[in-house]
Chains A and B, each alone.
Chain A
Amino acid sequence: MNTGKRLMQKSLHIDPGKCTGCLQCEMACSLDNEGAFNPAKSRIKVFDFHAEGRFVPYTCTQCAEAWCMKACPVDAISVDTLTGAKVVSDALCVGCKVCTIACPFGTINYNQTTGKVLKCDLCGGDPECAKACPTSAITFIDADWTGLERMRDWASKTDSGTRAEA
């Protein structure tokens, strides 16, 4: 896929170490998509690994070659060319759930109220979850450099002994 001519593509980037498990992301997601505060209908989920004291938000990473999209027998999943998001068309989706089997990460799920599948669509390029996160555990950043902040953190710890000796 040639992405060279597009505007800078952005990705949701999740840093579980900053997550407190407050679920503001789930509320923001459900409000935007369902018109109500309803974590049960959120496309992003926060997992509480209680025994380890860890909270981990998880959602679709928008695979470049998306298993869900390839598996869909009715071509109901397409690429939003502006954002790179894989988007489900409710008009086309027949609720067969083949995509939910194909997705290796479990981030596309069936909604029995509508008979369609739900997945993150990046809110058309301005994800509500990232805006709602009070600790910046979820950010929406340059897709090519999601590792930049972590690189910077490690870079700052890199020993400069050799230079001092030179």
Chain B
Amino acid sequence: MAWARKLLRVDLTKGTCTSEPLNMDWAQRYLGQRGLATKYLTEEIDPKVDPLSPDNKLIMTTGPLTGTCASTAGRYSVVTKGALTGAIACSNSGGFFGNEMKNAGWDMIIFEGKSAKPVYLFVQDDKAELLDAGEFWGTSVWDTEENIKKKHQDPMIRVASIGVSGEKGVKFACVVNDMHRAAGRSGVGTVMGSKNLKAVAIRGTLGVKVKDIGAFMTATANGKAILAENAVTGQGLPTYGTQVLMNVINEVGALPTRNHRDVQFEGAGDISAEKMHEKRASDGKSNLITNGACFGCTIACGRISQIERTHYTVVDRPQYQKASGGLEYEAAWALGAATGVDDIDALTFANFICNEQGYDPITFGATVGAAMELFETGAITTKETGGIELKFGNTKALTELAEQTGRGEGFGAEIGLGSKRLCEKYGHPEMSMSVKGQEFPAYDSRGIQGMGLAYATSNRGACHLRGYTVASEILGIPEKTDPLATEGKAGLVKAFQDATAAFDSAGLCIFTSFAWTLEDVAPQLDSACEGEWSVEKLLEVGERIWNLERQFNLAAGFTGKDDNLPARLLKDAAKSGPAEGKVNGLGEMLPEYYQLRGWTTEGVPSNQTVERLGL
């Protein structure tokens, strides 16, 4: 019930697909998706393994609620050792792929080894086979998805694939499903590419059942009502998407701008949600066509956008004149504020390319921002960039590099290293705005102090989705805290991290947590899944997952010293806005955080903690 109780193991070296029962003892302790797949991964691989070697494994995994009618319950994650970071990677995606996997009767698919030639996995319910992907290799995510459906004469197949960037080893390649939903961060698509695995195509017709359908329908209806009535999930997100944040975060002085040299962007309004709604003078249409939902989602924050047909990026290129996945806040920030570019259609185009060729717009935009700083300081010149005048605000440089990175060519191949490797290569490691090799998302921790600690301690490198204290510090969810204060943030970060790990393991979208607490999630899980699922148990599961990820990273070679921020955020004060004069007070928060976690002063889980959590 809820779980399909079955996993598919695909040995790419041998070319075999075998079914195994899901370890239900582990499911009771790690729930599903992020937690359960991390348990499998940490049991099965050497933490020191090269992420791109055949000895790394890649797991596609659903949660117990995936495929049910609980709101947002269509999620799946890709869990592996990240190509960008060398840390545990877990990238979560919506769309319709996760529910298809569950409907085919699989909780997870474990890929191991490496295929001698490009292949794709084709799954029809309990039948699974590896097929030759020669005809799809070298083609985009968009073409691969369309052509697999054509080849099998089944438009209802769901596909998750990598683009050319993932084949070419761009370090931050994604796995993209349903044209524009992505398991986006940490280079999970790069790992997939290293295995010569082009795509996973699934058709599932078996259905998903739950333990107590009566109680489940009541619990999920209550959950949906809460989402509908909440201002963020009921109005803000469907109307404006996550882009509702652009002007808000700019006003509080926490919008990292031009590689974090500034904290406010003068062009924020031009790349905001409001701008996407604005009707253009030329054709009377707006960038935003409609909002769209992932499977089962009653929030529907997704953006479907269309670029003005006369815009330089799409003239004579009809494939980009169609509507497709538009700008979310993180992408708009990275492609825009981080590079100083304020042309909404150029950002939309770059975002289309990220989707089409399958790479992470956050790391891409942030890396272009870092490269612009390298260029402006003279560390690189047009000789390195292949003639591109890589100055902040150069719109055409951004879109040209988006295309080059998608193909893994020219200076785009260097952008494809990510900012840490790029800045080290050119002698300026301090210019990489990253933690554990992964670039920051769209919140400057000088203006939102708790996020500094959340970034520094995130198990997958800098990330907003591991502990989104922005909710409390800016939006007042569940209660307002002062974004400029460090007091109390250690506890806040820990609470967000543990709860998030539980949400991510259930099959739900973390955006529900704008309105739901674990009090709202527990009855949905409890009525769907075997066992008893209380808030207390979920918090314990969340904390157990966090510590398991931490142990993996420590064994991989990370230490407490990696729980750090770039000097720019710790020494260079914010130049404007409410946080003017502030740096991030990480040093004031980290020791207390270690203590609350039950870790040593070196950041290692104590024996007592390991025992308490049964690790």
- Residues of chain A touching chain B, judged by Cβ–Cβ distance below 8 Å, are 20-24, 27-28, 30-31, 34-41, 50-55, 113, 132, 134-135
Residues of the B chain whose Cβ atoms lie less than 8 Å from the Cβ of A37: 67-69, 103, 207-209
Report how far A86 CA is from B96 CA in the complex, Å. Answer: 31
| Complex CA distance for A35 and B217, rounded to whole angstroms | 13
Q: Given A35-B209, A38-B103, does the pair A53, B304 have CB atoms closer than 8 Å?
A: yes
Contact call B224/A22, Cβ cutoff below 8 A:
no
In Å, the complex CA distance between A134 and B103 comes to 22
**Whole-angstrom distance between the Cβ of B367 and the nearest chain A Cβ:** 29
Chain B residues with CB under 8 Å of A38's CB are: 103, 205-208
Task: Type the 1/0 row for B132-167, where 1 means its CB is closer than 8 Å to any CB of A.
Answer: 000000000000000000000000100000000000
Q: Is B296 a contact partner of A23 (Cβ separation < 8 A)?
A: yes
- Of B275-283, B284-292, B372-380, B593-601, the stretch lying at the interface with chain A is B284-292
A-B contact pairs, 24 of them (CB 8 A): A20-B292, A22-B295, A31-B213, A36-B206, A37-B68, A37-B69, A37-B207, A37-B209, A38-B205, A38-B206, A39-B99, A40-B156, A40-B204, A40-B205, A41-B207, A50-B179, A50-B323, A51-B324, A52-B289, A53-B290, A53-B304, A54-B290, A55-B292, A134-B300
A135 CA / B298 CA spacing, docked (Å):
8
Does B506 make an interface contact (CB < 8 A)? Answer: no
Closest chain A residue to B209, Cβ basis? A36
Give min CB distance, A18 to chain B, whole Å.
Answer: 10
Contact A20 B324 (CB under 8 A): no
Whose C-beta in chain A lies nearest to the C-beta of B300?
Answer: A20
CB 8 Å contact bits of B301-328 with A (1 = contact, 0 = none)? 0101110000000000000001110000
Q: Which residue of A lies closest to B321 (CB)?
A: A51
Given contacts A41-B205, A50-B323, contact A134 B298 (CB under 8 A): yes
Give complex CA distance A112, B89 in Å.
41
Measured between beta carbons, the chain B residues less than 8 angstroms from A23 are 96, 295-296
Contact bitstring B203-224, A, C-beta under 8 A = 1, else 0: 1111111000100000000001
- Chain B residues 57-108 with CB under 8 Å of chain A are 67-69, 96, 99, 103
How long is the Cα–Cα vector from A27 to B99 in the complex, in angstroms? 11
Q: Give the docked Cα–Cα distance between A52 and B324 (Å).
A: 8
Residue of A nearest to B180 (CB): A50
Task: Give bound CA distance, A156 to B291, whole Å.
Answer: 25
Cβ–Cβ contact B69 & A28, under 8 A:
yes
CB distance from B345 to the nearest CB of A (A): 16
Does B297 count as interface, using CB distance less than 8 angstroms? yes
Chain B's interface size range is 35 or more
Among B103, B203, B300, contact of A22 (Cβ-Cβ < 8 Å): B300
Q: Is B116 an interface residue (CB 8 A)?
A: no
Give every chain A residue within 8 A of B300 (Cβ-Cβ).
20, 22, 134-135
Residues of A within 8 A of B156 (CB): 40
Q: Is B293 on the interface with A (CB-CB < 8 A)?
A: yes
Residue pair B293, A21 in contact (C-beta under 8 Å): yes
Residues in B with CB closer than 8 Å to A28 are 69
Given contacts A36-B209, A40-B103, contact A24 B323 (CB under 8 A): no
How many A-B contacts are there with CB distance less than 8 Å?
85
Contact partners of B224 in chain A: CB under 8 A: 134
Given contacts A20-B302, A37-B67, A134-B298, 5 further A-B contacts (CB under 8 A): A20-B292, A35-B207, A35-B209, A37-B208, A53-B304
Contacts of A135 in B (CB 8 A): 300
Taking the complex as formed, is B228 at the interface, i.e. its CB lies under 8 A from any CB of chain A? yes
Check: B199 CB closer than 8 A to any chain A CB. Answer: no
Inter-chain contact A22/B290, CB cutoff 8 Å: no
Check B228 against A51 for contact (C-beta < 8 Å). no
**Are the CB atoms of B296 and A36 closer together than 8 Å?**
no
Bound Cα distance from A135 to B238, whole angstroms: 11
Instruction: State whether the Cβ of B10 lies closer than 8 Å to any Cβ in chain A.
Output: no
Question: A55 CA to B304 CA in the complex, in Å?
Answer: 11
Question: Which of A21, A41, A134 is within 8 Å of B292, CB to CB?
Answer: A21
Q: Which chain B positions have C-beta within 8 A of A30? A: 207
Determine the distance from Cα of A54 to Cα of B156 in the docked complex, in whole angstroms. Answer: 17
Contact between chains at A22 and B296 (CB < 8 Å): yes
Contact across chains for A53 and B306 when beta carbons are under 8 A apart: yes
A21 to B301, CA, bound (A): 12
Closest B residue by C-beta to A113: B205
Q: How far is the CA of A24 from the CA of B289 in the complex (A)?
A: 22
Shortest Cβ gap from B509 to chain A (Å): 12
User: CA of A39 to CA of B294 in the docked complex: distance in angstroms?
Assistant: 14
Residues of B contacting A34 in the complex (Cβ-Cβ under 8 angstroms): 207
CA distance A22 to B67 in the complex (A): 12
Most chain B beta-carbon neighbours within 10 Å: one of A36, A52, A54 = A36
Give B206's nearest chain A residue, CB to CB.
Answer: A38
Closest to B102 in A: A37
Q: Which 8 A-B pairs have the closest CB atoms?
A: A36-B207, A38-B207, A53-B289, A53-B323, A22-B293, A40-B205, A51-B322, A20-B300
Residues of B within 8 A of A36 (CB): 206-209
Q: How far is the CA of A52 from the CA of B289 in the complex (A)?
A: 8
Bound: A36/B2 CA distance, A: 11
CB nearest to A34 among chain B residues: B207
**Nearest B residue to A54 by beta-carbon distance?**
B290
How far does the alpha carbon of A51 sit from the alpha carbon of B304 in the complex, in Å? 9
Complex alpha-carbon distance, A37 and B68, angstroms:
6
* B window 331-376: CB within 8 A of A: none
Alpha-carbon gap, A54 to B323, bound state (A): 9
CA A53 to CA B179, docked complex, whole Å: 12
When the two chains form their complex, are residues B228 and A134 in contact, meaning their CB atoms are under 8 A apart? yes
Q: Contact check: which of A24, A50, A51, A55 meets B298 at CB < 8 Å?
A: A24
Residues of B within 8 Å of A52, CB to CB, are 289, 322-323
Q: Given A37-B67, A37-B68, A40-B103: A51 and B323 within 8 A (CB)? A: yes
Taking CB atoms, residues of chain A closer than 8 Å to B289 are: 52-53
Contact, CB under 8 Å: A24 / B69: yes
Query: What B residues does A27 contact at CB under 8 A?
Result: 68-69, 296
Within the assembled complex, what's the spacing in Å between the Cα atoms of A53 and B293?
12
- Residues of the A chain whose Cβ atoms lie less than 8 Å from the Cβ of B306: 53
Contacts of B293 in A (CB 8 A): 20-22
Which residues from B are CB-within-8-Å of A113? 205
Alpha-carbon separation in the docked complex, A116 to B207 (Å): 18
CA A23 – CA B295 in complex, angstroms?
A: 6
A21 CA to B181 CA, complexed, in Å? 14
Per the bound structure, the CA–CA distance linking A8 and B143 in Å amounts to 50
| Residues of A close to B305: CB separation below 8 A | 53
| A40 and chain B: residue at smallest CB distance | B205
> Least Cβ distance of A57 to chain B in Å?
12
Residues of B within 8 A of A39 (CB): 99, 103
